[in-house]
């Protein structure tokens, strides 16, 4: 033992070993105490939830070895308040911890996502309690209110003398020692900081603790008990004849009483559950401080029977796009907790959904591997996806302004993620497509769906036109858009990075083809009249010598050179074939470090533009040809392979 220890309790023991917290834990503890003080209540929820998890784990292990119950099969959580010692203790008879477990579980952060999150946080984000709370501070939340935490635990199935005592003041170190503990499970004692023992934040007030348990942990399916308090009348001393009224007081007895309803929320009928209960349950399982945006709760009967309670969060988590992002669904089998993050229960593009699935059919010893192959699980996953999409559609299509607002909020947080579903979930592709919203060349906000667009289509218009670009400004100024603007045809402007990839999978919407206006030939069908077609044909013939010369000058930079019908103001633009990657997509893939096939675009030139007309007689034909090509590439959001050469040419041309 180190002789530098100052804590009395630690000095009491001669056998304790001192340990240093993993660097990330020390950092997390610092954040917890500095950012979460205004949410100090959450320690009750976190510690009760850990105690309940520990009981769930025991129940699960005991399905294959019921001797682990040690003849104490009544799992419960107890909260004991000691006003003299100024402590509050959370006691469970769950799975318990060995000394090695305690060192590992309470001294390190197991989740790599949490570590990555900590590294990413900026200084100002570190002050943001909402953000910190988002990933679950769990056990460490105790240090918001306690200056010392002492944990005593004994693992189920281990002998009584293999207990552990873990103590820390939450600064940088903790000690552990072996103790004898007759009862299985864990008791966690918080030595409250002075400011939490009086006034508004007095956690020694039993009623306060009770109301917090009711608020946060009512859904916990185990009994949560506190010591019973009874009213005791003061009895007059014998012979006391004075008129002094006899008072009375509440006294704490040795008896325990259950203070929660102890019924898993999702097992109750939705008509009996208040919105607040749903909201609190969500906060419990998601570590989100904010209310969820919406939820759906159903008992599904049929070949596979299960209960689904699915929530849509109001805000995207920080790691929405991280590969190892945790999934939010907890799996229960007949109310027995089986696992967190059951990723097989939802398709990837709905990974932000949180909630609970309770299956009546899956075996209790189901593993992740079994889940992967199970037909029942597939059917649950399909059912979940359908439900979430139905819920979203009900928000999107509602007449109710509040719901519409919710859908907008949902879309700004998760719109890009559900687009992944176009490629991932062919069965629901049409339902997903209905939820998508974009800006268009005539409506700027992110609010036009394909249905809205179709309703506004011009007479004779046969396709839904869209354009992908880096951002809205680039889309609006794209040369590809010129003809459409001139003719007053609305074009959907897609500016998210996933759009082009996602649109590869969506070729039509309710029978109307979707056409990327930067790909293939523009075919405006009936929207172009005969005179225009005739004119275009003539222009093509007239410009043939220039076009041929351009082909030679550009060599293998361009697959082809053609006279354009889509340009009005710009001299040229690049187009790629149907099914080929646009320059932005090529660039995005390159940035992601992917090998990209060498795609040659076609250069389209505007026969009416003075620069193109000037080409015919230009003495600097080759330089001008290269500059026109480079400019078309730039306008399309592409990048020049040799910017210096481009500048040199432009400068020389300017000097002429
Ligand atoms: N009452 C308890 N009984 C047994 N083990 C516990 C108990 N409390 C905490 N632990 C162990 O300590 C670990 C860390 O707890 P902590 O609350 O920090 O994180 P967590 O519960 O794993 O994650 P989260 O709180 O984000 O769900 C737990 O995973 C568990 O192994």
pLDDT at 628: 94
Residue with CA at minimum distance from ligand 1 atom 28: 105
pLDDT at 237: 73
Quick one: pLDDT band at residue 8, thresholds 50, 70, 90? very low
2/200: higher pLDDT: 200
Average confidence (pLDDT) over 404-425:
95
3/525: higher pLDDT: 525
Q: Are 494 and 469 in contact (CB under 8 A)?
A: yes
- Residue 644: CB atoms within 10 A of its CB come to 8
pLDDT at 10: 42
Gap from CA of 310 to ligand 1 centroid (Å): 24
Q: Are 177 and 151 in contact (CB under 8 A)?
A: no
Q: Which atom of ligand 1 is nearest to the CA of 95?
A: 4
Please determine, for residue 23, whether its predicted confidence score (pLDDT) is greater than 60: yes
Q: What is the CATH number of domain 265-405?
A: 3.30.230.80
Quick one: pLDDT band at residue 243, thresholds 50, 70, 90? confident
Residue with CA at minimum distance from ligand 1 atom 14: 105
pLDDT at 189: 98
Residue with CA at minimum distance from ligand 1 atom 8: 50
Please determine, for residue 7, whether its predicted confidence score (pLDDT) is greater than 50: no
Do 3-231+249-257 and 265-405 come out as alike in CATH topology? no
Domain ranges of the chain: 3-231+249-257, 265-405, 437-526, 530-655
pLDDT at 552: 93
Q: Are 376 and 347 in contact (CB under 8 A)?
A: no
Average confidence (pLDDT) over 328-338:
79
What top-level class would CATH report for the domain 437-526? alpha beta
- As a whole number of Å, the end-to-end CA separation of the chain is 85
pLDDT at 198: 93
pLDDT at 467: 93
- Cβ within 8 Å of residue 55, ≥6 positions away: 75, 76, 77, 92, 93, 94, 95, 222
Encoding tokens for residue 310? 């699915």
If you average pLDDT over each of 18-27, 429-438, 537-546, 559-568, which comes out highest?
A: 429-438
Among 434, 439, 435, 462, residue whose Cα is nearest residue 522:
462
Average confidence (pLDDT) over 114-131:
67
Among 194, 202, 196, 106, residue whose Cα is nearest residue 151:
106
Encoding tokens for residue 207? 């009623």
Mutate to test the pocket of ligand 1, among 99, 137, 138 (most ligand atoms within 8 A of CB): 138
Residue with CA at minimum distance from ligand 1 atom 20: 138
Distance (Å, rounded) from C-alpha 204 to C-alpha 88? 7
Gap from CA of 139 to ligand 1 centroid (Å): 6
Distance (Å, rounded) from C-alpha 216 to C-alpha 218? 6
Please list the alpha-helical segments (H only) found in 109-264.
112-120, 129-134, 142-145, 206-217
Q: Please check whether the domain covering 3-231+249-257 is classified as CATH 3.30.565.10.
A: yes
CA 420 to chain centre: 14
Residue with CA at minimum distance from ligand 1 atom 26: 136
Q: Are 256 and 78 in contact (CB under 8 A)?
A: yes
Distance (Å) of CA 136 to CA 49, 287, 328, 537: 11, 5, 12, 66
Encode 282-316: b = buried (16+ Cβ within 10 Å), e = exposed: bbbbbbbbebbbbbbbeebeeebebbbbbbbbebb
Quick one: pLDDT band at residue 248, thresholds 50, 70, 90? confident
Q: Mapped to the 3 state alphabet, what secondary structure does 402-447 carry?
A: HHHHHHHHHHHHHHHHHHHHHHHCHHHHHHHHHHCCEEECCCCCCC
Distance (Å, rounded) from C-alpha 178 to C-alpha 180? 7
Please determine, for residue 293, whether its predicted confidence score (pLDDT) is greater than 60: yes
Average confidence (pLDDT) over 557-570:
88
pLDDT at 11: 43
Among 224, 188, 27, residue whose Cα is nearest residue 114:
27
Quick one: pLDDT band at residue 596, thresholds 50, 70, 90? confident
pLDDT at 128: 65
pLDDT at 630: 93
Gap from CA of 463 to ligand 1 centroid (Å): 56
pLDDT at 365: 66
Q: Which atom of ligand 1 is nearest to the CA of 51?
A: 1
Quick one: pLDDT band at residue 15, thresholds 50, 70, 90? confident
pLDDT at 452: 96
The predicted-structure confidence for 449-503, as pLDDT tens digits, reads as follows: 999 999 999 988 999 999 998 889 989 988 889 889 988 999 999 999 889 889 9
The predicted-structure confidence for 74-107, as pLDDT tens digits, reads as follows: 999 999 999 999 999 999 999 999 999 999 999 8
Please determine, for residue 196, whether its predicted confidence score (pLDDT) is greater than 50: yes
Mean pLDDT lowest for which of 37-41, 155-159, 450-454, 500-504? 37-41
Protein residues whose CB sits closer than 6 Å to any atom of ligand 1 = 50-51, 54, 92, 94-97, 105-106, 136, 138-140, 186
Q: Are 441 and 487 in contact (CB under 8 A)?
A: no
Please determine, for residue 241, whether its predicted confidence score (pLDDT) is greater than 90: no
pLDDT at 349: 93
Please determine, for residue 585, whether its predicted confidence score (pLDDT) is greater than 60: yes
Q: Please check whether the domain covering 530-655 is classified as CATH 3.40.50.300.
A: no
pLDDT at 112: 57
Please determine, for residue 113, whether its predicted confidence score (pLDDT) is greater than 70: no
The predicted-structure confidence for 346-404, as pLDDT tens digits, reads as follows: 999 999 999 999 998 887 667 777 777 788 889 999 999 999 999 999 999 999 999 99
Please determine, for residue 6, whether its predicted confidence score (pLDDT) is greater than 50: no
Characterize the bridge pairing of strands 439-440 and 492-494: antiparallel
Average pLDDT of the chain, as a whole number: 87
With a pLDDT cut of 70, the percent of the chain lying above it is: 92
- Would you list which residues are annotated within the binding site for ATP? 46, 50, 92, 97, 105, 111-113, 134-139, 186, 368
| DSSP conformation class of 399 | S
The predicted-structure confidence for 398-409, as pLDDT tens digits, reads as follows: 999 999 999 999
Please determine, for residue 435, whether its predicted confidence score (pLDDT) is greater than 90: yes
Q: Which atom of ligand 1 is nearest to the CA of 136?
A: 26
* β-bridge mates for residue 174, sequence order: 19, 168
pLDDT at 5: 35
């Amino acid at each position: 033992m180190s002789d530098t220890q100052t804590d009395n309790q630690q000095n009491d023991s001669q056998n304790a070993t001192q340990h240093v917290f993993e660097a990330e834990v020390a950092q997390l503890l610092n954040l917890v105490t500095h950012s979460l003080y205004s949410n100090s209540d959450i320690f009750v929820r976190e510690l009760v939830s850990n105690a309940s998890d520990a009981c769930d784990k025991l129940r699960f292990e005991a399905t294959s070895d019921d001797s682990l119950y040690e003849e104490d099969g009544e799992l419960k959580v107890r909260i004991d308040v000691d006003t003299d010692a100024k402590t509050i203790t959370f006691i469970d008879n769950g799975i318990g911890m060995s000394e090695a477990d305690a060192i590992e579980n309470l001294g390190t952060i197991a989740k790599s996502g949490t570590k990555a999150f900590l590294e990413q946080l900026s200084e100002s984000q570190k002050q943001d309690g909402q953000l910190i709370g988002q990933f679950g501070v769990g056990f460490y939340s105790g240090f918001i209110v306690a200056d010392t935490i002492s944990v005593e635990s004994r693992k189920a199935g281990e002998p009584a003398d293999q207990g552990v005592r873990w103590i820390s003041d939450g600064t940088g170190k903790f000690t552990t020692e072996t103790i004898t503990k007759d009862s299985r499970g864990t008791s966690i004692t918080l030595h409250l900081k002075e400011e939490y023992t009086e006034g508004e934040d007095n956690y020694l007030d039993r009623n306060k603790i009770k109301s917090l348990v009711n608020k946060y942990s009512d859904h916990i399916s185990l009994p949560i008990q506190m010591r019973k308090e009874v009213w005791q009348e003061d009895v007059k001393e014998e012979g006391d004849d004075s008129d002094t009224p006899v008072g009375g007081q509440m006294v704490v007895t040795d008896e325990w009483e259950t203070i929660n309803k102890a019924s898993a929320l999702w097992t109750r009928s939705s008509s009996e559950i208040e919105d607040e209960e749903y909201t609190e349950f969500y906060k419990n399982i998601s570590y989100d401080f904010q209310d969820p945006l919406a939820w759906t709760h159903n008992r599904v009967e049929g070949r596979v029977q299960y209960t689904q309670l699915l929530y849509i969060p109001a805000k995207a988590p920080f790691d929405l796009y991280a590969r190892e992002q945790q999934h939010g669904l907890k799996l229960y089998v007949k109310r027995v907790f089986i696992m967190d993050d059951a990723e097989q229960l939802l398709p990837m593009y709905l990974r932000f959904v949180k909630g609970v699935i309770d299956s009546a059919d899956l075996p209790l010893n189901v593993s992740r591997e079994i889940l992967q192959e199970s037909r029942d699980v597939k059917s649950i996953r399909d059912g979940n996806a359908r439900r979430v999409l139905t819920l979203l559609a009900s928000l999107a299509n509602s007449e109710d302004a509040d719901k519409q607002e919710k859908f907008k909020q949902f879309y700004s947080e998760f719109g890009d993620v559900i687009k992944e579903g176009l490629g991932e979930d062919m069965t629901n592709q049409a339902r997903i497509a209905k939820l998508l919203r974009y800006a268009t060349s005539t409506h700027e906000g992110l609010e036009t769906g394909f249905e809205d667009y179709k309703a506004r289509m011009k007479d004779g218009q046969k396709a839904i036109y869209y354009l992908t670009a880096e951002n809205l400004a680039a889309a609006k100024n794209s040369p590809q858009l010129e003809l459409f603007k001139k003719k007053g045809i609305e074009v959907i402007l897609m500016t998210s990075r996933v759009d082009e990839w996602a649109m590869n999978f969506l070729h039509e919407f309710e029978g109307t083809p979707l056409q990327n206006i930067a790909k293939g030939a523009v075919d405006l069908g009936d929207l172009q009249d005969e005179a225009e077609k005739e004119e275009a044909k003539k222009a093509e013939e007239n410009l043939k010598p220039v076009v041929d010369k351009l082909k030679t000058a550009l060599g293998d930079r361009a697959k082809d050179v053609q006279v354009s019908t889509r340009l009005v103001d710009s001299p040229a633009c690049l187009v790629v074939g149907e099914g080929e990657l646009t320059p932005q997509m090529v660039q995005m893939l390159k940035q992601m470090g992917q090998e990209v096939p060498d795609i040659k675009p076609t250069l389209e030139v505007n026969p009416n533009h003075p620069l193109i007309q000037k080409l015919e007689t230009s003495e600097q034909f080759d330089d001008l040809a290269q500059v026109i090509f480079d400019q078309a590439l730039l306008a399309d959001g592409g990048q020049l392979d040799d910017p210096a050469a481009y500048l040199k040419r432009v400068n020389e041309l300017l000097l002429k």
